[in-house]
């Protein structure tokens, strides 16, 4: 899908450009119409509806068209449509300030406005016809509370992608009047995972406020909550990169066309997805600049300048940056036109050192994925078809999503001497010979956020592994029946928060008095907070609180005195169990097949990883892709080789490989 959702007026400035020539058709129309009753004199619509016992008559004097059109400035229009309401921006900022805990470096992320009441859905008369049978059930009324914020995807993809749940038959009152629907169809805002996985993923991303759509296709906005997740990942990954001896630097966003073209395979691989800058300062540039799709070209060019002697090696540099790859099909986090990542670029004296580095970083990625994201992966080499443009060998980690498709979550390339040759990196070695170094590059991106969401999320929304959750514990104070919660509950809740913070737990106290506890439970569940801590008057009496785990919903009454120990323990247990559960899922969805019949059957039905023999011929690989959509994800480099026959052609296979359909 594409990223949309911006008011049309904002999307194409041409639309609001003053027209040349005479009055437009619309202007003529409005001039022709006599002014209607002014707004303040109008009868409230609801009153009319009551009077008329239903819809107001067509000629009822309600028209807002009476508002003079000449006050419609394009800017005002933009503001009014909700993008940038000035009052809203200000109040949000204030709210954030107010909630920020001065002792914690963690910004408090909840700066949303409250939601109002949610009545049960009612079936309107015009919906009745649709409810008669499934044969015309293509546009049933959406049930439940709509999305919590203003900017959600346009109707287009929803109309086509969302398979709505069939409505139960509507009980009819006397005279065919519809009765109010009861619980069974209320208040679900996330499409069930089993029903439509893609839609489930989008619902979760949007409703948990991880990301939102921007005006440019494929360029999502990472919202504060999603960015906090990314920052937590970033912090841990950065630590691991530094622990393995690398240092950070920053290289430019723009890459001259001629630089990109120096490595032939590289430019062929990336030019179809490059964005070009051709004009700057109002003048055509002498040489177009690519917006970096990756930084080998610019970084290797600089290395050529910096490396003169074997004493300069190894070079171990990493950068955190954004890159742009012009994608045709985009999905938030998983495949975006612009994304955030880290890319490491290293130079070594020998091929063996470069290979060691490549594999070292592959295993940094693997352990990060498992330990932090609780996302198990398979790892190994890529086939030549799938390897990085210009690389000697590419290695990757691949995770399995619960729709049975594989997600490449990190890559590590041994670039051989290709880039050193193309960019003229040479140095004098220990024997005073002019030689070329061996280079590597490796990267992980915001795509990992998407993988993590798909790995752990459920029908209630996100489930965040404690180690990357922005809030590990959310405290929901329960107001007393009588009296002021400021006196009876909040002081205790604040005390608990302080104790947990001192124990190193990221805590958020949800002290909004505009929302009810039940709403907050659902709200934070949707956002995937690992532990909820309820504390109310009854608990305070008993010196206890209620802890509820997000993944298992297991509920426990815990003495307040033991919290500083109990909470970290539970968070640790949850982190471990998420990984175990995901590992079990991956194992269950990995099938070893020996015949192509089996292969096709499994790929058709259950999907997942298929372990099978492969002769090493790219033609076989291509046929398999054509026939089953599955590609070789990785060729394992460790463990038992398990020689056999190619699943497609029957020729000898040196070892089994992992096949899957891929994101």
* Ranges within 585-644 binding RNA (CB under 7 A): 631
Residue 167 has which token pair? 């409505």
Q: Which is nearer to RNA, 47 or 641 (CB)?
A: 47
Residue 452 has which token pair? 């993590």
Among 108, 109, 152, 241, binds RNA (CB under 7 A): 152
Among 92, 100, 115, 305, binds RNA (CB under 7 A): 115
Shortest Å distance, C-beta 217 to RNA: 5
Whole-number Cα distances in Å, 291 to 271, 284, 446: 11, 16, 18
Only segment of 52-60, 239-247, 429-437, 571-579 that touches RNA (CB under 7 A): 52-60
3 state SS for 553-592: CCEEEEEHHHHHHHHHHHHHHHHHHHHHHHHHHHHHCEEE
Work out whether 556 is an interface residue with RNA (CB under 7 A): no
Only segment of 43-51, 247-255, 560-568, 582-590 that touches RNA (CB under 7 A): 43-51
Shortest Å distance, C-beta 311 to RNA: 35
Q: Determine the angle formed by the axes of helices 447-456 and 197-207, rounding to 10 degrees.
A: 110
CA atoms within 13 Å, Cβ hemisphere of 555: 5
Work out whether 215 is an interface residue with RNA (CB under 7 A): no
> Burial letters for 83-122: b for 16+ Cβ neighbours within 10 Å, e otherwise?
beeeeeeeeeeebeeebeeeeeebbbbbbbeeeeeeeebe
Nearest CA to 150 out of 90, 217, 85, 216 is that of 85
Work out whether 119 is an interface residue with RNA (CB under 7 A): yes
Shortest Å distance, C-beta 172 to RNA: 18
Work out whether 384 is an interface residue with RNA (CB under 7 A): no
Among 231, 238, 327, 426, binds RNA (CB under 7 A): 327
Q: Which is nearer to RNA, 17 or 311 (CB)?
A: 17
Shortest Å distance, C-beta 130 to RNA: 8
The secondary structure of residue 662, as a DSSP letter, is B
Work out whether 50 is an interface residue with RNA (CB under 7 A): yes
Shortest Å distance, C-beta 308 to RNA: 33
Shortest Å distance, C-beta 307 to RNA: 27
Site for RNA in 234-293 (CB under 7 A): 269, 272-273
Work out whether 516 is an interface residue with RNA (CB under 7 A): yes
Only segment of 299-307, 384-392, 463-471, 560-568 that touches RNA (CB under 7 A): 384-392
Sign of the alpha-carbon dihedral angle for 586, 588, 593, 599: negative
# of chain residues touching RNA (CB under 7 A): 123
Q: Which is nearer to RNA, 382 or 506 (CB)?
A: 382
Burial class (CB within 10 angstroms; exposed 0-12, middle 13-18, buried 19+) of 335: middle
Work out whether 30 is an interface residue with RNA (CB under 7 A): yes
Work out whether 150 is an interface residue with RNA (CB under 7 A): yes
Nearest CA to 228 out of 456, 528, 460, 458 is that of 528
Q: Which is nearer to RNA, 180 or 595 (CB)?
A: 180
Work out whether 51 is an interface residue with RNA (CB under 7 A): no
Whole-number Cα distances in Å, 398 to 345, 362, 381, 406, 409: 21, 11, 11, 6, 6
Q: Determine the angle formed by the axes of helices 563-588 and 490-502, rounding to 10 degrees.
A: 70
Shortest Å distance, C-beta 569 to RNA: 20
Site for RNA in 450-469 (CB under 7 A): 460
Among 100, 264, 553, 651, binds RNA (CB under 7 A): 553
Shortest Å distance, C-beta 401 to RNA: 12
Neighbouring residues of 500: CB distance < 8 A, sequence distance ≥ 6: 473, 507, 563, 564, 567
- Specify whether the CB–CB gap between 651 and 641 falls below 8 A: no
**DSSP letters for 110-158:** --PPP----PPP---HHHHHHHT-GGGGGGPPPPS---SSS----HHHH
- Specify whether the CB–CB gap between 84 and 78 falls below 8 A: yes
Which x/- pattern over 154-193 shows residues binding RNA (rule: CB under 7 A)?
xxxxxxxx-------------------------xxxx---
Residue 419 has which token pair? 């880039």
How far is the C-alpha of 152 from the C-alpha of 86, rounded, in Å?
20
Q: Which is nearer to RNA, 425 or 463 (CB)?
A: 463
Shortest Å distance, C-beta 376 to RNA: 20
Work out whether 572 is an interface residue with RNA (CB under 7 A): no
Shortest Å distance, C-beta 152 to RNA: 4
How far is the C-alpha of 152 from the C-alpha of 452, rounded, in Å?
22
Site for RNA in 72-91 (CB under 7 A): 72, 74, 77, 80-82
Work out whether 92 is an interface residue with RNA (CB under 7 A): no
Shortest Å distance, C-beta 420 to RNA: 22
- Specify whether the CB–CB gap between 412 and 397 falls below 8 A: no
């Amino acid at each position: 899908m594409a990223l949309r959702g911006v008011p049309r007026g904002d999307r194409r400035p041409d639309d609001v450009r003053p027209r040349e020539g005479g009055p437009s058709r619309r202007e003529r129309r409005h001039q022709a119409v006599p002014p209607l009753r002014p707004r303040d004199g109008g009868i409230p619509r609801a009153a009319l509806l009551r009077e008329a016992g239903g819809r107001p008559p067509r000629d009822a004097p309600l028209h807002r068209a009476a508002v003079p059109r000449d006050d419609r400035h394009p800017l005002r229009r933009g503001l009014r449509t909700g993008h940038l309401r000035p009052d809203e921006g200000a109040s949000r900022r204030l709210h954030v300030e107010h909630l920020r805990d001065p002792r914690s470096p963690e910004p408090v992320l909840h700066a949303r406005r409250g939601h109002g009441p949610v009545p049960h859905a009612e079936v309107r008369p015009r919906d009745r016809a649709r409810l008669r049978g499934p044969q015309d059930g293509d546009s049933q009324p959406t049930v439940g509370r709509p999305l919590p914020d203003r900017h959600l995807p346009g109707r287009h993809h929803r109309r086509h992608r969302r398979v709505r749940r069939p409505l139960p038959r509507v009980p009819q009152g006397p005279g065919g009047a519809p009765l109010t629907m009861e619980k069974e169809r209320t208040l679900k805002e996330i499409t069930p995972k089993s029903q439509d996985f893609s839609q489930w993923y989008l619902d979760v991303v949007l409703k948990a406020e991880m990301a939102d759509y921007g005006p440019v296709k494929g360029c999502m906005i990472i919202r504060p909550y999603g960015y906090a997740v990314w920052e937590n990942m970033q912090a841990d990954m950065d630590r691991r990169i530094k622990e393995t001896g690398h240092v950070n630097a920053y290289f430019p966003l723009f890459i001259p066309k001629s630089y990109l073209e120096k490595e032939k395979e590289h430019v062929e691989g990336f030019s179809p997805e490059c964005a070009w800058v051709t004009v700057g300062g109002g003048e055509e540039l002498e040489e177009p600049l690519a917006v970096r799709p990756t930084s080998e070209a610019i970084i290797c060019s600089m290395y050529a300048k910096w490396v003169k002697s074997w004493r300069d090696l190894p070079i171990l540099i990493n950068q955190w940056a954004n890159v742009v790859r012009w994608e045709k099909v985009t999905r938030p986090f998983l495949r975006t036109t612009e994304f955030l990542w880290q890319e490491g670029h290293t130079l070594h004296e020998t091929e063996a050192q470069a290979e060691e580095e490549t594999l070292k970083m592959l295993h940094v990625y693997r352990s990060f994925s498992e330990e932090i994201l609780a996302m198990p992966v398979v790892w190994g080499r890529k086939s030549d078809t799938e390897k990085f443009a210009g690389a000697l060998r590419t290695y990757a980690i691949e995770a399995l999503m619960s729709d049975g498709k594989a997600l490449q979550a990190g890559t590590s390339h041994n670039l051989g001497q290709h880039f050193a040759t193309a960019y003229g990196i040479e140095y004098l070695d220990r024997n005073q010979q002019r030689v070329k170094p061996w280079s590597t590059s490796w990267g992980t991106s915001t795509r990992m956020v998407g993988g993590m969401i798909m790995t752990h999320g459920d029908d209630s929304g996100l489930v965040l592994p404690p180690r990357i959750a922005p809030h590990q514990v959310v405290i929901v104070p329960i107001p007393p029946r009588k009296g002021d919660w400021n006196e009876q509950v909040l002081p205790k809740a604040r005390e608990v928060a302080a104790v947990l913070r001192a124990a190193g737990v990221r805590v958020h106290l949800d002290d909004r008095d505009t929302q009810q506890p039940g709403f907050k439970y659902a709200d934070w569940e949707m956002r995937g907070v690992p532990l909820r801590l309820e504390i109310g008057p009854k608990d305070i009496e008993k010196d206890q609180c209620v802890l509820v785990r997000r993944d298992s919903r297991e509920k426990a009454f815990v003495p307040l005195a033991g919290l500083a120990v109990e909470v970290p323990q539970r968070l640790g247990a949850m982190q471990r169990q998420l990984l175990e559960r995901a590992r079990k899922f991956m194992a269950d969805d990995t099938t070893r097949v020996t015949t192509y019949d089996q292969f096709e059957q499994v790929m058709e039905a259950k999907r997942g990883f298929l372990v099978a023999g492969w002769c090493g011929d790219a033609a076989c690989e291509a046929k398999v892709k054509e026939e089953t959509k599955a590609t070789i994800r990785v060729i394992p480099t460790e463990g038992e080789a398990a020689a056999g026959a190619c699943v497609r052609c029957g020729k000898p296979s040196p070892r089994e490989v992992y096949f899957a359909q891929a994101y």
